[in-house]
Amino acid sequence: MLHRKNAKVDYVLSRARRIVLTLGGFRTSLTYVTFQIVVIAHLERFGEDALSLVDP
């Protein structure tokens, strides 16, 4: 179940990255970086297993 959650988070990150690449611009990039920081901070609650997908 944890693996499925990791796959879902990975999908969300890849989708956000695609949106950033499509829209471009400093403001969008800043929004994505902020979003990624929030996601990583959220994953830290689940331990290092969840963090492995962020930093393989």
| Domain boundaries defined on the chain | 2-51
Question: Can you give the pTM of this predicted structure?
Answer: 0.34
pLDDT, tens digit (0-9, with 9 covering 90-100), for 6-44: 788 888 888 888 877 776 666 777 887 888 888 888 777
Listing DSSP states for 1-56 in one string gives -HHHHHHHHHHHHHHHHHHHHHH-SHHHHHHHHHHHHHHHHHHGGG-HHHHTTT--
| pLDDT value of residue 56 | 47
| pLDDT value of residue 46 | 67
Check residues 15 and 3 and name the one with the higher pLDDT.
Answer: 15
